Every structure is written in structure tokens, then in C-alpha cells.
């Protein structure tokens, strides 16, 4: 019956009748909601789109590329597991509807699906909503939260499962480049630090916050030396990251350990047209003082070095000067010694100089 319901076949003539809604597969927009206008020969149907977010007119579709709109399937849900049936068409319908209503987060049981909104200005996801999640404490476990889906919810569940069960928890963040993984990890970390001190005294909260600030300060540093502009993401992490977040017996955030792995080393030497090498090179060339550049024997122009030269050296969404300052401040906050910072940038300068070496064949 399920097969009949979803894949057509003998049941098509009853499943898809004129004047009834259906889901149909569109070559560009994937699954959309439509209305069966006409039943055509050879198991084909003329469909008009009911999708309000695209300009699709009428289209002829084969039964194989259609799915029925069963009772209740269009009803709003926060958790896709509550749908009357699970099929690409219905899943994508809901995710699409929610995205265009600025509901970028959707639960699938314990999994959180996030679609990148490219803005932090959505009112119901602003930081002032975080206390609502924190206040729920251990009562919000196992999907019982009354809050709307958010990365905070995932962090909350992990934190309270750890507290109540006394067991380690893992959060796996996965998605294609530019999907929002790096940002999601930052959101989760900030929540864990805040949540862990929600019942602590002001003095303890201040102490934990200082640790959280240092953990947060790892981001600009790691991103300067491990992130780059690619065609898909202006701040693409070119390495994987395993992070352990530690708590004491009281559940207070005590620190984090980060293991980066599989850095794309070849990018130091070469990058595709329209992309850049690692941010740090552009940051130091545009952000360092003239005195520093002179000491490193560097010119300010990224086009002067084969590592940094290319079609794209300035990116609209990236402020290399401000980021250079942020990295130096983060290094200070992490307790790096002035000499160590200098050494790091001298290594970068050496790479820039090495890229200028000319190899001449011996006669």
C-alpha cells in the first residue's frame, strides 16, 4: 500500500485525480506542492504549481515523479518525525515552508536540521531568547522542550543528559561547505558555557566566563590559519576539528581541547581562481603596522607574492584589517607571549618570501 501511495503504479488513477493536490518533482526546485489539472495518457499528469516561493507554471509530470498529499501531511510540525508519512516530498515541503517563514531550524527526532539563513537578525533566534532554553533545566530532556528548535536545544539536551546520566555526550555537526557548521559549533559552545553557570554565584560565573572567553578566542586564531575564502564559503574551514568540552563534577564548564586534523596544506602554495589562500597572509599584509612589515621585509601588496596573488585578494564580507587585530587580541587573551606571536608571523613571512624563489636550470 505504501508503494502504491508513494510511487504510483496501478493506483495512480485513484491517487492523482483532477482537482486534487499532489507533490511533484521539479527539475530545478525539486519537490513542490501542485494541483493536478489534467490526467494525461501514459501515466502522465498536467500539474500547476501551488508553490508560493517560486515561479513555476504548468508542467507535465510522470507518475513516478509524484507523491500524494495525504490527510494531515501539510499541517505545521516542528519535528518531521510527527508527519503522517516520511517521504522526500513532504520533508522538503516542510523544510521549505519553514525556511521562507524564517524558521531555519527543524527537529527530526533528536537530530536538528539547520538551513543557513546568512543573517543573525531573525528576532526569534536572537541571544535574548537563550534564557528561555536555559530555564527549562533537566525537565526539557528527550524532546520535551517547549522552546522552538534551535542549536541551543541540542546543546541543552547534551548538557543535561551528561548531568543526569553522568555520561559523556557527543554532538556531530555535519553538512556541505557553507552549510553553517562552524557557526553552529560556536553557538553550541556559547550555550554550554552560559547554561553551566546558570545557577552559579556571580563570582563563579565570572570565572567560568573567563574560560569561555578564551575558548571562544580560539576561533579567530584557528580561522586565520585554517580558514580561507572558497567559491562556496568566504570563511571555509579547510580542516576538520574534534573538540572536547570539559565540565567539573558540579557541571561547570572548565575548558576545551581542540584537535584539528586534515588541514588542506596544498592551499598554502596554490588555490583555485576566485579563491584565496589562508586568511592570515592577507590579514598580516593589510593589518600589520608598517614597522612590522619592514621588520619582516614584506610589501603590503598581496599581488607581490605568488602565495597571495590572484584574481581575488579583497573579499567584500571579509575585513582583513579588523580580523588581524582580532587575531592579535585573541592571541593576547590566550596568554601567548609577544615573542611567540612574532615567531608565528615570521614563519608566515618566510612562506611569502619562499614563494618568490626562482629556480633556474643549470646550463
Ligand X SMILES: Nc1ncnc2c1ncn2[C@@H]1O[C@H](COP(=O)(O)OP(=O)(O)O)[C@@H](O)[C@H]1O
CB of 104 to ligand X, least distance (A): 7
CB nearer to ligand X: give 219 or 277: 219
What does residue 111 show for φ and ψ, rounded to 5 degrees? -90, 145
CB nearer to ligand X: give 116 or 254: 116
Interface pick for ligand X out of 84, 175, 240, 274 (rule CB under 6 A): 175
Binding residues for ligand X restricted to 115-144, rule: CB under 6 A: 116-120
CB nearer to ligand X: give 227 or 355: 227
- Determine the Cα–Cα distance for residues 133 and 152; give it in Å rounded to an integer: 7
User: Is 178 annotated for ligand binding?
Assistant: yes
| Start-to-end CA span in the chain (Å) | 80
Residue 331: C-alpha distances to residues 56, 179, 272, 345 (Å):
52, 28, 30, 12
Nearest 5°: the CA angle 194, 198, 201 is 115
CB of 186 to Mg ion, least distance (A): 10
User: Is 277 annotated for ligand binding?
Assistant: no
Q: Which is it for the CA torsion 147, 149, 152, 154, positive or negative?
A: positive
Cell output for 340: 611567540
User: Is 157 annotated for ligand binding?
Assistant: no
User: Is 274 annotated for ligand binding?
Assistant: no
CB nearer to ligand X: give 116 or 218: 116
Binding residues for Mg ion restricted to 167-196, rule: CB under 5 A: 181-182
**Residue with CB nearest ligand X?**
180
Q: What is the DSSP secondary-structure string of 33-76?
A: EEEEEEEETTTEEEEEE--TTS---EEEEEGGGEEE--TTTTS-
Torsion angle of the four alpha carbons 186, 188, 193, 198, in this order, in degrees rounded to the nearest 10: 140
Binding residues for Mg ion restricted to 291-310, rule: CB under 5 A: none
Pairing type for strands 58-62 and 44-49 reads: antiparallel
CB of 252 to ligand X, least distance (A): 26
With cell 537530530, the residue in question is 111
Q: Residue 58: CB partners within 8 Å, gap ≥ 6?
A: 37, 46, 47, 48, 49
CB nearer to Mg ion: give 163 or 181: 181
Nearest 5°: the CA angle 294, 332, 346 is 30
CB nearer to ligand X: give 68 or 149: 149
User: Is 177 annotated for ligand binding?
Assistant: yes
Interface pick for ligand X out of 96, 98, 163, 181 (rule CB under 6 A): 181
Q: Is 103 in the site for Mg ion (CB under 5 A)?
A: no
Partner touching 179 among Mg ion, ligand X, none, CB below 5 to 8 Å by kind = ligand X
Binding residues for ligand X restricted to 224-263, rule: CB under 6 A: 233, 235-237
Interface pick for Mg ion out of 145, 237, 283, 286 (rule CB under 5 A): 237
Cell output for 240: 576538520
Residue 239: C-alpha distances to residues 126, 222, 288 (Å):
29, 10, 26
User: Is 180 annotated for ligand binding?
Assistant: yes
CB nearer to Mg ion: give 230 or 286: 230
Q: Which residues are annotated as a binding site for ATP?
A: 175-182
Residues forming contacts to ligand X in the complex (CB under 6 A) are 116-120, 175, 177-183, 233, 235-237
Q: Which residues bind Mg ion (CB under 5 A)?
A: 181-182, 237
Amino acid at each position: 500500500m505504501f508503494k502504491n501511495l508513494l510511487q504510483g503504479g496501478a493506483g495512480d488513477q485513484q491517487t492523482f485525480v483532477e482537482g486534487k493536490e499532489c507533490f511533484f518533482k521539479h527539475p530545478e526546485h525539486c519537490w513542490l506542492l501542485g494541483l493536478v489539472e489534467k490526467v494525461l495518457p501514459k501515466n502522465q499528469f498536467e500539474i500547476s504549481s501551488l508553490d508560493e516561493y517560486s515561479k513555476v507554471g504548468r508542467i507535465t509530470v510522470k507518475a513516478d515523479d509524484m507523491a500524494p498529499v495525504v490527510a494531515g501531511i501539510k499541517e505545521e510540525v516542528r519535528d518531521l518525525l510527527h508527519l503522517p508519512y516520511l517521504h522526500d516530498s513532504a520533508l522538503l515541503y516542510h523544510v521549505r515552508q519553514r525556511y521562507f517563514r524564517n524558521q531555519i531550524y527543524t527537529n527530526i527526532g533528536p537530530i536538528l536540521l539547520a538551513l543557513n539563513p546568512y543573517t543573525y537578525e531573525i528576532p526569534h533566534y536572537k541571544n535574548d531568547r537563550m534564557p528561555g532554553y536555559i530555564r527549562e533545566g533537566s525537565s526539557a530532556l528527550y524532546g520535551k522542550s517547549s522552546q522552538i528548535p534551535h542549536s541551543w536545544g541540542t546543546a541543552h539536551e547534551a548538557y543535561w543528559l551528561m548531568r543526569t546520566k553522568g555520561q559523556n555526550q557527543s554532538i556531530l555537526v555535519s553538512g556541505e561547505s557553507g552549510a553553517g557548521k562552524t557557526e553552529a559549533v560556536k553557538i553550541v559552545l556559547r550555550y554550554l558555557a552560559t547554561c553551566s553557570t546558570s545557577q552559579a554565584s556571580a563570582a563563579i560565573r565570572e570565572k567560568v566566563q573567563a574560560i569561555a572567553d578564551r575558548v571562544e578566542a580560539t576561533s579567530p586564531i584557528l580561522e586565520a590559519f585554517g580558514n580561507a575564502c572558497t567559491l562556496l564559503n568566504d570563511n571555509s574551514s579547510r580542516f576538520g576539528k574534534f573538540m572536547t568540552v570539559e565540565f567539573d563534577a558540579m557541571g561547570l564548564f572548565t575548558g576545551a581541547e581542540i584537535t584539528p586534523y586534515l588541514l588542506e596544506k596544498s592551499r598554502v602554495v596554490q588555490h583555485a581562481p576566485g579563491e584565496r589562500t589562508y586568511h592570515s597572509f592577507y590579514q598580516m599584509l593589510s593589518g600589520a603596522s608598517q614597522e612590522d612589515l619592514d621588520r619582516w621585509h614584506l610589501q603590503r601588496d598581496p599581488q607581490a607574492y605568488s602565495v597571495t596573488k590572484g584574481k581575488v585578494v579583497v573579499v567584500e564580507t571579509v575585513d582583513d584589517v579588523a580580523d588581524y587585530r582580532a587575531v592579535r587580541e585573541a592571541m593576547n587573551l590566550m596568554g601567548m607571549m609577544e615573542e611567540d606571536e612574532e615567531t608565528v608571523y615570521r614563519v608566515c613571512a618566510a612562506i611569502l618570501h619562499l614563494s618568490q624563489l626562482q629556480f633556474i636550470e643549470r646550463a
